[in-house]
Homo-oligomer: A and B are copies of this chain.
């Protein structure tokens, strides 16, 4: 949809991977729609995942007892969070749609195991189980409306043809992504009744 801003949070080390292809096709399709697409390529940026004292610039509000949550909140209010954090917060704030694309995160992800393994009776359990902490605990908690995840199962053991179909199905979905209704991000979606 023309004029919309999209942020893709991308976490994979290899551009030639299926993850790389899924990211590429998303940038292409969404740009073609007239969207402004920004990619946060976490590995390429060497993004710091540790939550430490370095996230706060200058003095702490309580240097005697370091409480990350309190210090980060105070630093947020005083605009003293480190720029690697505020840069990303700004991107999220400006975006109309955020696509997290990562082997083990949200919305668009690839798995090691097959679809059969990620069922209620499969060895890994229903795939919705492992989405709970991320989709509900992180995204929903932060106020996002959550769209259905795009899961590309087991690309490493899929044929080249099947991998192409995964990329094509993602590109196809993106064509009408703006018409999708968010999921009802509550326990029944994840665990049934």
| A132 touches which of B43, B51, B132, B136 (Cβ 8 Å) | B132
* Residue A191 at the chain B interface, CB threshold 8 Å: yes
A90 CB–B CB distance under 8 Å: no
- Shortest C-beta distance, A50 to chain B (Å), equals 6
B133 and A137 contact, CB distance less than 8 A: no
- Contact of A67 with B17 at beta-carbon distance under 8 Å, contacts A52-B43, A129-B190, A130-B137 already known: yes
How big is chain A's contact interface, by range? 20 to 34
Contact of A129 among B43, B132, B156 (CB under 8 A): B132
Q: Is A68's beta carbon under 8 Å from chain B?
A: yes
The 8 Å CB contact of A130, one of B52, B65, B132, is: B132
CA distance A124 to B141 in the complex (A): 9
Which residues of B have CB within 8 Å of A50?
A: 43, 49
Number of copies: 2
Interface string of A67-84 (1 = CB under 8 A from B): 111000000000000000
CA distance A13 to B67 in the complex (A): 8
Q: Is A4 an interface residue (CB 8 A)?
A: no
Distance in angstroms from A167 CB to nearest chain B CB is 16
The residues of B that contact A67 with a CB separation of less than 8 Å are: 14, 17, 156
Contact with B along A110-150 (1 / 0, CB 8 A): 00100000001000110001101100110000000000000
Give complex CA distance A137, B129 in Å: 10
| Beta-carbon contact of A187 and B137 below 8 Å | no
**9 A-B pairs (CB sep. < 8 Å):** A13-B52, A13-B68, A14-B67, A16-B65, A49-B50, A125-B187, A129-B132, A129-B133, A130-B133
Q: Which 6 A-B pairs have the closest CB atoms?
A: A14-B66, A130-B133, A13-B66, A129-B132, A191-B191, A16-B65
